Structure 1
Amino acid sequence: MSDYKAFKEASVTGLTGSTVTHVNIISSVALASIVLHSTLQTRVYRDHAIPFFVSWMALLLPLLFSMTLFANNPGLLAFILLLPTALILLRTTAPDNVNMPQPASGKGPASPHSTPSYAQSRFAVEVKPPSLTPLPAITTYRAHMMLMTVLGILAVDFPVFPRALAKCESYGVSLMDLGVGSFVFSSGVVSAIPLLRDPAHLKAPLLPKVTVVVRKTLPIIAIGVIRVLLVKGTDYPEHETEYGVHWNFFISLALLPVLQTLLHPLLRAVPASLLGVGVGILQQLSLSVFGLKEYVRSAPRLNLISANKEGIVSLAGYLSIHLLGLSIGTLILPPSPNFFRRLLTGRSTPAELGASRQNDKGAIELASYAIVWWALLAVASLLRVDEGVSRQTANLPYALWIAAFNTSYILGYLVLDMLFFPTPAVRRKKSRQSTDDISASASPARAPLLLEAINKNALPVFLLANVLTGLVNLSMQTMYASAGVSMGVLSLYTFVVSGVAWRLRGVRVWRL
């Protein structure tokens, strides 16, 4: 092993992370950037699209600076972003109505009830599904989650990225640990879409559904296998205690939809939130009572299973996170929080998915769940469940932390949408089908076009980021780079990744 490879692997070994508060403050910069961008859209550009370069400056650079130069003082960065925002708000007047610009896809303006970019699924649907009213907050949330992950996988290779934000060895919280779990939570949120479009999907025979899901996830498994071959073939620095010798995050991500499908019979009778917590408790019992924690810590790597013990053992914990994301998806994606419950009992139909969204009720529901998850995390900490949060085993405290954080930030994005792009007044009317039928025009809000572009082709963006990360690491010794060189390379990296997404915004290359 070369001295540099050993040094680089040592730089991500034995880390214990930061604090939940520190990670939350760093992540709050993402909310501040949306406040700035929304202010520019409503007060400066108004009916015109914000140019790519301005969006890159307002949306991507703040995220990069929050985890590098301002990592130890993210509150100052948030203040720097909000100061010009306040000046613009004070010097301009709010327009009566802002017609949000549409992406230049060559297809003309999108219908208010057209299927949003996040409203896609790995599940095959034989007939044209009902449309969901777009929810810009979810697009913004998923794009920011992707960006934090994309930035982190290369930034961690430079000394300008604090070691406290890199993945923890066994226990602890960090920004990169948050990114992995958020990716899984996000996939759970959008996995609610096929269930909303066709509630009978839960009752369909398991074998055909599992076959369809496996076929859909084969490309992701193939990517995971290719990654293993490339890492081994190029002697690329790796950290085996993260997932194991051959396992990686792509493999975990591909298996989760299969496991969720196997649980469909239970989802018909048990709320996804309770099922998610139940799986998390079983995961914790297997770790603390049945010895899996010691197995991960000390078992020798003698065969294929023990060689990948971290990835295999953590899979149940990630399933818990995926199910908790699913529960939020069933609350926030349909027009009202109780829509899915009414759908399962036959009091609503998928045809009502296009109704105007009740964002106020959705915000209240999200706030309630966020309080519950943060409270349960506090209880787990007070009771000293396990030895703390562990991304390595995806234990119960880790699942609760991921659920609490992501639910809170979806709420934050939704509230900002409601403040900057308020929904027109609605008029309720009685209906034979439903007492909650609403007659109103759709909200003019939409996510920033750059974030829509990133979300629309999330998987190609993620793959491009992985390729560029490998190329950068093979072409230079990143751990010896100065702060100036580090920020130059990272800034160019963000510009290329987001620029490619911007160029692809009119097409969907590959669904995630």
Structure 2
Amino acid sequence: MATDATSYKQLKEDFVSNLSGGSISEINYVTAAGPAAFILWSVLQSRQSFFKPYKPLSFLVDLFLNALSPLLAMTLYADTPLLLCGLFLVPTIFVYALPPNSAIAKKKKPKLPPAAQAQNKASNALSTLSTKPFLTTYRGSMLMLTTLAILAVDFRIFPRRFAKVETWGTSLMDLGVGSFVFSAGVVAARPLLKERAEGRVTPLSQRLIYSMRHSLPLLVLGVVRLISVKGLDYAEHVTEYGVHWNFFFTLGFLPPFIAIFQSVLKAIPSYAALSIILGLAYQIMLETTSLKAFIITAPRTDLFSMNREGICSLAGYLAIFLAGQDMGMIVLPRSISPNSNSNNAAQRTKLLTRMGAWATAWTVLYFFATNFKYGAGLDVSRRLANFPYVLWVAAYNSAQLFLGCLTETVFFPAFHTSADSKTEQEAYHAATSTVLRAFNRNGLALFLVSNLLTGLVNLTVPTLNVSPAVSMGILVGYTAIVTAIAVALDAWNLSIKL
């Protein structure tokens, strides 16, 4: 019996090892299913008020469009993702062609959550920073994809080219790891913008103390995961982060370094420039020293060499975080030109132009870093978190944010034209999916829940031996459970900060 368990564990480790990934274009097609489904959601909401009020049928449609659509894209429609996108976009055209249904909207205004009501009572004036719907949608979608992939990867119905590559190449899950860090960087710009608006500067020592408080829960989660993985003899892929390292440790060790980099801004007043300089410096070290060979081939003789992938890749993830922070400095302020007399529509146009320019800039840099004919001809490596990987993650996420902002601008103009906070809050809730908003609100807590459920499934189900029908049944059930937990926490107005 023990031999069977050992051989199955080895089979599972082999299942996620020595993979080479797939093309970036295919990854773009697969992840496009989410935005395509959200465009259909936007048309249903803006033209027919389908999700006002939010009833059980509304939840089921919301669940299908914003949770099950990406699951279908990475499983049953993995070979035909553009067909799935078309299945969402064709009904969009028909729904948009129908006359707007204003009756539902006139019956009753949606009741805002308690937190939003309290905020409205406190002040009805517009704040300097706003919680923008497209940012909530972007982060919720990214967390949803991550949640789905960490369990789906254990089933044969999930193509191997979407799983994390061994060393060189690109895959859906490689992109997910970097996107998680990039989105954290976007959100981290908020306290910095508040600090600037108030004209105060936090000392380095205070920033380090604050960062340690933020790191501690993540490091504790990393230790808990380490103990549980080793204690339960759970299948693990050592070359992913190392023998003891895991993604929670990566997230936990980033804040102190980020706090230190705030001081560097005095010399280089741009997060994007810092990101590029750091990524380039790390890449030069990989190419001109023995660091690359050490990370890939060195024997695991001590604590550092055992976890060399996780420790050394911190430089790349820090560069990704800084790139996200730079995008956050652009998208979070209410006005992209605070001293300008431009109206809200003109400000939104400037925002779109600037976001599009940055998405293009990151893409051009990626092209020259990886192209063999016109550029440096470097390969992407998530294991190293090298410079091409940093550029790929920054380009993809910047483009996703741009697409989200464009969708919001087209279908929900009431948000960026709001004249007071009450109207803006109502427009925000009308323009965001309840499912995605709930994931965005408790992202890290739900990521932990999904990790626990993934472990439970793997310990109770021989995922490699079940049929496609059973695989989809388990994955749909898992998606529904995690989504129900997220929506319940949001309905109860609970925010779990980790």
Q: Distance in 1 between matches of 2:480 and 2:418?
A: 44
Determine helix, strand or coil for the equivalent of 2:413: coil
Tell me if structure 2 keeps the 8 A contact 1:102–1:109: no
Q: Could you give the per-residue CA deviations for residues 386-442 of structure 1, whole angstroms, max 9, x where no partner exists?
A: 7411000100000000000000000111110011111479699xxxxxxxxx99964
Read off the aligned partner of 1:321 and give its amino acid letter.
I
Separation (CA, whole Å) in 1 of partners of 2:94 and 2:266: 52
What amino acid maps onto 1:457 in structure 2?
Answer: N
Cα offset for 1:183? 0.2
Deviations 1:270-298 (A, max 9, x none): 21100000010011011111221100111
Question: How many angstroms does 1:212 deviate by?
Answer: 1.7
Alignment of 1:359-508 (within 5 A): 359-383=348-372, 385=376, 387-423=378-414, 442=424, 444-445=427-428, 446-505=431-490, 506-508=492-494
Separation in 1 of the partners of 2:153 and 2:421? 50
Cα distance change, pair 405–149 in 1 and its aligned pair in 2 (3 A): same
Alignment of 1:254-269 (within 5 A): 254-269=252-267
* Whole-angstrom CA distance in 1 between matches of 2:13 and 2:45: 44
Instruction: Specify the code of the residue in structure 2 equivalent to 1:224.
Output: G
Indicate how the Cα distance of structure 1 residues 78 and 198 shifts in structure 2: closer, same or farther if over 3 A, else same: same
C-alpha contact (below 8 Å) 2:320/2:393 kept by paired residues: yes
- Inter-partner Cα distance in structure 1 for 2:95 and 2:424: 27
What does residue 22 of structure 1 align with? Answer: 26
1:369 corresponds to which letter in structure 2? W
1:202/1:265 contact within 8 Å kept = no
Secondary structure in structure 1 of the residue aligned to 2:32? helix
Q: Report the more deviating stretch, 131-140 or 14-23.
A: 131-140
CA positional deviation for 1:40: 1.6
- After superposition, the Cα gap between the structure-2 partners of 1:13 and 1:424, relative to the gap in structure 1 and judged at 3 Å, is closer
CA apart distance, 1:139: 0.4
Matched-pair contact (CA < 8 Å) for 2:185–2:328: yes
Given that 1:112 and 1:442 are in contact with CA atoms closer than 8 Å, whether structure 2 keeps it comes out as no
Q: What is the rounded CA distance, in whole Å, between the counterparts of 2:285 and 2:121 in structure 1?
A: 45
CA contact (8 A) 2:33 2:81 kept: yes
1:432 aligns with none
> Do the aligned partners of 1:26 and 1:74 also contact (CA within 8 Å) in 2?
yes
Displacement of 1:203 in angstroms is: 3.7
Q: Is the 8 A contact 2:13 2:237 kept in 1?
A: yes
Change in CA separation of 1:426 and 1:482 when aligned onto 2, cut-off 3 Å: closer
- Unaligned regions of 5+ residues in structure 2, if any? none
**Aligned partners of 1:390 and 1:398 also within 8 Å:** yes
Distance in 2 (alpha carbons) for counterparts of 1:499 and 1:326: 31
**Do the aligned partners of residues 235 and 40 (structure 1) sit closer, same or farther apart at CA in structure 2, a change above 3 Å counting?**
same
Q: Is the 8 A contact 2:312 2:384 kept in 1?
A: yes
Cα gap change, 1:374/1:399 in structure 2, threshold over 3 Å: closer, same or farther? Answer: same
- Separation (CA, whole Å) in 2 of partners of 1:425 and 1:139: 15
Q: Does 1:89 align with 2:96?
A: yes
Sort the Cα spacing of 1:397 and 1:94 in 2 relative to 1 into closer, same or farther, 3 A.
Answer: farther
Structure-1 separation of matches of 2:121 and 2:303: 49
- 8 Å contact 2:138–2:400 — kept in the other structure? yes
Q: CA deviation at 1:216?
A: 2.1
Which residue, out of 185, 210, 220, partners 2:182?
185
CA deviations over 1:78-135 (Å, ceiling 9, x no partner): 11111222221123337599689757634565767999xxxxxxxxxxxxx9662220
CA contact (8 A) 2:193 2:329 kept: yes
1:215-266 Cα deviation digits (max 9, x unpaired): 2210110000110000000010000000000111111111112111101111
Question: What is the total number of aligned residue pairs between the two structures?
Answer: 478
Using a 3 Å threshold, how does the CA distance of structure 1 residues 102 and 167 change in structure 2: closer, same or farther? farther
1:167 aligns with 2:152: no
Amino acid at match of 2:356: A
Cα-Cα RMSD: 2.9
Q: What SS is found at the alignment partner of 1:263?
A: helix
Contact 2:21/2:170 (8 A) holds in 1: yes
User: Helix, strand or coil: the match of 2:235?
Assistant: coil
SS at match of 1:334: coil
Partner of 2:113 in structure 1? Answer: 105
3-state SS, counterpart of residue 33 of structure 1: helix
2:241 maps to: 243
- Contact kept in structure 2, 1:102 and 1:110, CA below 8 Å: no
Q: Is residue 183 of structure 2 the alignment partner of residue 210 of structure 1?
A: no
Residues 363 and 114 from structure 1, CA distance in 2 versus in 1: closer, same or farther, beyond 3 angstroms? farther
Separation in structure 1 between the aligned mates of residue 156 and residue 111 of structure 2, nearest angstrom: 38
Q: Give me the whole-angstrom Cα distance separating, in 1, the residues matched to 2:23 and 2:388.
A: 14
Query: How far apart are the structure 2 equivalents of 1:467 and 1:43?
Result: 39
Normalising by the residue count of structure 2, what TM-score does the alignment of the two structures yield? 0.89
Unaligned runs of 5+ in 1: 116-128, 340-346, 429-437
Question: Does the Cα contact within 8 Å between 1:189 and 1:329 map onto a contact in 2?
Answer: yes
> What's the TM-score, normalizing by structure 1?
0.87
Distance 1:420 1:333 in 2: 20
Report the 3-state secondary structure (helix = DSSP H, G, I; strand = E; otherwise coil) of the residue aligned with 1:235: coil
Supply the distance in 2 between the matched residues of 1:331 and 1:210 (Cα, whole angstroms).
25
Structure that is richer in helix per residue: 2
| Distance in structure 1 (CA, Å) of the matches to 2:380 and 2:96 | 41
- Conserved? CA contact 1:296–1:310, under 8 Å: yes
Is the Cα–Cα contact under 8 Å of residues 314 and 392 in structure 1 kept in the other structure?
yes
Q: 1:286 to 1:218 in 2, by over 3 A?
A: same
Distance change (3 Å), C-alpha of 1:206 and 1:111: closer
Aligned partners of 1:499 and 1:265: how far apart in 2?
Answer: 42
Partners in 2 of 1:213 and 1:102 — Cα distance?
A: 38
Kept in 2: contact 1:203–1:264 (CA 8 A): no
The alpha-carbon distance between structure 1 residues 102 and 17, as it changes in their structure 2 partners (threshold 3 A), is farther
